[in-house]
A and B are shown apart, each in its own frame.
Chain A
Amino acid sequence: MTAKRVKVRSVLTVLVLAIFVAATWALPALAQDLFIRGGTVITITSGDLSDTDVLIRDGKIVEIGQNLEAPEGVRVIDARGRFVMPGILDDHSHMGVDRGINEGSRSVVPEVSIADVIKHDDPAFLTALAGGITTIHTMHGSANSIGGQNEVIKLKWGRPWEELVFPDAPVTLKLALGENVRRSSSDDPTRYPRSRSGVAEVMRESFQQARNYMEAWEVYQAEKAAWDRANRRTRGFAPLPPRRDLQLEVLAGVLKGTTIIRCHAYRADEMAMIMEVCKEFDIPPGVFEHALDGYKIAPELARNGWGTSVFADSWGYKIEAYEAIPYKMLIHYEHGVRTSINSDSAERVRRLYQEAARGVKYGGIPENECLKMITINSAMNLGIEERVGSIEIGKDGDIAIFSHYPLHTAARCEMTIIDGEIYFDRSETDVAATWVIDPDGGQDKQ
């Protein structure tokens, strides 16, 4: 009797364990396999492939080719007659930021991080998914000279926060220049700096302090290493480490080249200033956000290796934006300036492919080059081009499936896939049907 009861209990235990394992491990793994059949695959990096299949296993693209066999048990998506492109990236966004977009008290606040204030179930993520977006770079605002660390996330709506964070993406730091930093819309600006010249000196001072800080640590580490090696009886007290500084630690990352500068800049003179300051400190080139007048110094941007992340044709909304022209992408392209097109908006992000089409309209940039501006170029601007931004074997299974070529007027996103999992499927919704942006009814829109 006793033995039998024990046996029952152990069977139950095994069963519970099996269910637990299935729920936590086996099921998600299965869901990350997909076979996308027969679409026109827009690889971005190696041309468009007609009637081509894409196999995703464990969230990664493992096979691209014609007439492939769908492995048993793997869900098949019929993409015949459709266009399969890499998931779209928006490398300048503020989605999910639940207030706290600017820490406006002081002009230099590199220690703050946008990751601390992201609402990971922002309903705007859903409408973005419905436009083929899979990855966003969600950022601090432009109120500060040095405004804090940003976050790269995948729009895995409904998943826990930890799963949204893009693994191992380089740290990016927001800098800003121009009217916003100078608080020029305020009648009585009280915060230093007030001038563009002042902003430049704030940058210099901050990087110099970071350099001094790094040197103090290097001196300490050398002394500490010497002390470790020294005779235990005669070496005296251990050297004291420098006082830890959370601001300067972040800026030190910039000086070391591990943290990417993302600098809000409209006017050409401002971009020239930052390029000058960065040269003084041997800081590698970063990315100019908006870069509305970048087309005026395209040779300098190209020569210095700076990337840009621009609006396709937004302009005229303030004086700084009065010389932005929709031909800027053309001029950047012709000069070899790396350029992405961003939304900076929870609305515009839903139709970034339409923004990219403007590159063809304004000056006839080749179509695939326009698509690069919302995929691989955006990924390069974020230092994550080894993982996303094109359809290549080994890359993440991030895919957007469109009804027509994405720059065509009839194009509509039909399905959005992240790491091999479907996050948006239009066939499960319909015009004016029930797929609402806020299924829980509990979230405020920004």
Chain B
Amino acid sequence: MKACMTRRTAGAIALALIIALPGIAGAQQEALLQDDYAITGGTVVTVSGRTIPNGTVLIQDGIITAVGTDVSIPTGVERIDASGMYVYPGLIDAGTGLGLQEAGGMAGPVDNFELGPYNPHIEAYIGVDQNSEILGCQRVGGFTTVVTGLNGRGEPIPGYDSLINLWGWTPQAMAVEKRIGLRVNWAGNRAEELKAYFLEARAYAARAEMAERGEISDFAWDIRMDGLMPVVRGELPVIFEANGDDDIKEAVEFAEELDLRYMIRGGRDSWKITDFLVEHDVKLLFSGIHASPGRDEPYDIHYATPALLNEAGVDFAIYSGGVANVFSLTYEAGMAVAFGLPMEKALRCLTLDAARILGVDDRLGSIDEGKIANLLITTGNPVEYTSQVHTMFIRGEKVPWDDKFNRLLRRFRGRAGEILP
């Protein structure tokens, strides 16, 4: 990420020098400087550590380069006054279908499944419409980064989920991780079949290595096996979707048996098996705080599940599983707070804990030097129902507030005259 930016900077400077036309060079320099900001005067909630009143966050080349009260701001860096406001890390939703569906109810704009049961070579970010109106509107709620994925039609392996920023000129530029994990929809009755498939991939991986060393000459490349290889080698995690308590246990045992890196998503009944989850060090992405309770369940069980997981010491974050209303995830987090989850943990579920479970906390999830500059300037904690996001930075770029919600607001709010009879 940083290397990429540096290359871009170097390239642009070189270009400016070579062309040596003052006008063009000036324009290039200006474009570059737009990436550098100093946010001053706000209360900086780093999430990873302290909260800094009247703090400064310095953003250079898309990266946070300094945080604190004693930050020297280089000349040419644009200052953004955040006094009276708060600075938070951008929110992360660890499971959505964003960019893959523009509107429901029709086949055309829905692009969230592939045919066939096993598609371990499919990558979600490829199909993300970077100009999706749906996607842009999630920024209004404070979301800068999401996992998106084909949700399949319940097929065992719908493909790789991708971690994307919600701003960028191409899906490639948006992608933080093109393969954040391979989605597997757990179904107990297909466990044997799935196991055989993974073992086949393991054998394939072994043969691929032998072929590389020149030990065999009849190695046949296979796109699906190739897709599965990083998973059976333990380089990338599997994201098992499992909701019933037995399903979750089976998926965990499956992963342990095959020695896979993994996490569980869904987790509807996770509250019933917190001891098991702690004992097995399960990383859990929980969804469905707003789901209606099942028959014979306490009325507030899904509201209270995050609190129960937290008290038991389960390692978890939350996600929406949504498309158009991903931004409602802050309200789900808020409901968990009303039913016992500490506010601090609720915020971490949408920032640092989500990043850590996804394995990207070296780059995202808090306001620390060296991290990607995904930041919010807000009126308060974004988990609080009434907080408003005023300004957003993604990879250090100040995102234009021109999403569909705000465009239509501007167009119709002040409407007057030409009133119908």
Asked, given contacts A357-B386, A408-B385, A436-B299, whether A316 binds B304 with beta carbons under 8 Å apart, the answer is no
Cα of A86 to Cα of B304 in the assembled complex, Å: 25
9-residue interface stretch from A8-16, A164-172, A217-225, A291-299: A291-299
- Partner pick for A434 among B102, B298, B304, B404, CB 8 A cutoff: B298
Please give, as numbers and ranges, the residues of chain B lying within 8 Å of A326 by CB-CB distance. 140, 405
Question: A346 at the A/B interface (Cβ < 8 Å)?
Answer: yes
Contact A351 B290 (CB under 8 A): yes
Contact A431 B339 (CB under 8 A): yes
Contact A360 B412 (CB under 8 A): no
Question: B323 at the A/B interface (Cβ < 8 Å)?
Answer: yes
Q: List 25 A-B contacts (CB under 8 A).
A: A130-B299, A272-B420, A298-B415, A299-B416, A313-B328, A314-B325, A316-B103, A317-B103, A327-B405, A330-B413, A331-B412, A331-B413, A350-B292, A351-B290, A357-B331, A361-B385, A362-B140, A407-B385, A429-B298, A431-B307, A431-B339, A432-B300, A432-B301, A435-B298, A436-B295
> In chain A between 357 and 401, which residues have their CB closer than 8 angstroms to a CB of chain B?
357-358, 360-364, 367
Cα of A275 to Cα of B419 in the assembled complex, Å: 13
Please give, as numbers and ranges, the residues of chain B lying within 8 Å of A6 by CB-CB distance. none
Asked, given contacts A325-B404, A351-B290, A410-B337, whether A432 binds B308 with beta carbons under 8 Å apart, the answer is yes
Contact B292 A127 (CB under 8 A): yes
Please give, as numbers and ranges, the residues of chain A lying within 8 Å of B105 by CB-CB distance. 179, 185, 317-319
If A322-B133, A438-B295 are given as contacts, then 7 extra A-B residue pairs at C-beta distance below 8 Å, sorted by A number, are: A295-B408, A296-B415, A299-B416, A357-B385, A436-B295, A436-B299, A445-B292
Contact B293 A437 (CB under 8 A): yes
Cα of A149 to Cα of B264 in the assembled complex, Å: 47
Minimum C-beta distance from A25 to chain B (A): 32
Contact B134 A316 (CB under 8 A): yes
Question: B338 at the A/B interface (Cβ < 8 Å)?
Answer: yes
Q: What sequence of 0s and 1s flags, for each residue 122-151 of chain B, a beta carbon within 8 Å of any chain A beta carbon?
A: 000000000001100100100000000000
Cα of A136 to Cα of B135 in the assembled complex, Å: 34
Question: A1 at the A/B interface (Cβ < 8 Å)?
Answer: no
Contact A431 B296 (CB under 8 A): no
Please give, as numbers and ranges, the residues of chain B lying within 8 Å of A409 by CB-CB distance. 334, 337-338, 343, 383-385
> In chain B between 143 and 173, which residues have their CB closer than 8 angstroms to a CB of chain A?
none
Please give, as numbers and ranges, the residues of chain A lying within 8 Å of B419 by CB-CB distance. 299-300, 303
Residues of B at the A interface (CB closer than 8 Å) are 102-106, 133-134, 137, 140, 271, 290-293, 295-301, 304, 307-308, 323-325, 327-328, 331, 334-335, 337-340, 343, 383-388, 404-405, 408-409, 412-413, 415-416, 419-420
Least CB separation from B384: chain A residue: A409
Minimum C-beta distance from B18 to chain A (A): 47
Asked, given contacts A313-B327, A354-B385, A410-B337, whether A347 binds B292 with beta carbons under 8 Å apart, the answer is yes
Please give, as numbers and ranges, the residues of chain A lying within 8 Å of B420 by CB-CB distance. 272, 275, 297, 300, 303
Cα of A432 to Cα of B302 in the assembled complex, Å: 9
Please give, as numbers and ranges, the residues of chain A lying within 8 Å of B300 by CB-CB distance. 130, 429, 431-432
Please give, as numbers and ranges, the residues of chain B lying within 8 Å of A429 by CB-CB distance. 298-300
Residues of A at the B interface (CB closer than 8 Å) are 123-124, 126-127, 130, 179, 185, 272, 275, 295-300, 303, 313-319, 321-323, 325-327, 330-331, 334, 346-348, 350-351, 354, 357-358, 360-364, 367, 403, 407-412, 429, 431-438, 441, 445
Please give, as numbers and ranges, the residues of chain A lying within 8 Å of B140 by CB-CB distance. 326, 362
Contact B343 A441 (CB under 8 A): no
Query: What's the dominant secondary structure at chain B's contact region?
Result: loop
Please give, as numbers and ranges, the residues of chain A lying within 8 Å of B387 by CB-CB distance. 361
Least CB separation from A446: chain B residue: B292
Least CB separation from A365: chain B residue: B386
CB-based closest 10 A-B pairs: A316-B324, A357-B385, A318-B105, A360-B386, A409-B334, A327-B409, A431-B304, A300-B420, A325-B405, A412-B338
Minimum C-beta distance from B133 to chain A (A): 8
Minimum C-beta distance from B111 to chain A (A): 15
Asked, given contacts A130-B300, A436-B296, whether A315 binds B413 with beta carbons under 8 Å apart, the answer is no
Please give, as numbers and ranges, the residues of chain B lying within 8 Å of A437 by CB-CB distance. 293, 295-297, 299
Contact A331 B304 (CB under 8 A): no
Please give, as numbers and ranges, the residues of chain B lying within 8 Å of A351 by CB-CB distance. 290, 331, 335
Contact B386 A361 (CB under 8 A): yes
Minimum C-beta distance from A166 to chain B (A): 24
Please give, as numbers and ranges, the residues of chain A lying within 8 Å of B386 by CB-CB distance. 357, 360-361, 367, 407
Least CB separation from A184: chain B residue: B105
Contact B413 A317 (CB under 8 A): no
Contact A432 B290 (CB under 8 A): no
Residue of A297, A321, A323, A361 with most partner-chain B CB within 10 A: A361
Cα of A362 to Cα of B408 in the assembled complex, Å: 13
Please give, as numbers and ranges, the residues of chain B lying within 8 Å of A407 by CB-CB distance. 385-386
Cα of A334 to Cα of B412 in the assembled complex, Å: 11
Contact B290 A127 (CB under 8 A): no
Cα of A59 to Cα of B420 in the assembled complex, Å: 45
Please give, as numbers and ranges, the residues of chain A lying within 8 Å of B334 by CB-CB distance. 354, 409
Please give, as numbers and ranges, the residues of chain A lying within 8 Å of B413 by CB-CB distance. 327, 330-331, 334
Least CB separation from B404: chain A residue: A325
Cα of A326 to Cα of B405 in the assembled complex, Å: 7
Cα of A433 to Cα of B296 in the assembled complex, Å: 11
Please give, as numbers and ranges, the residues of chain A lying within 8 Å of B298 by CB-CB distance. 429, 431-436
Contact A331 B409 (CB under 8 A): yes
Residue of B339, B385, B408, B415 with most partner-chain A CB within 10 A: B385
Cα of A403 to Cα of B299 in the assembled complex, Å: 17
Please give, as numbers and ranges, the residues of chain B lying within 8 Å of A297 by CB-CB distance. 420
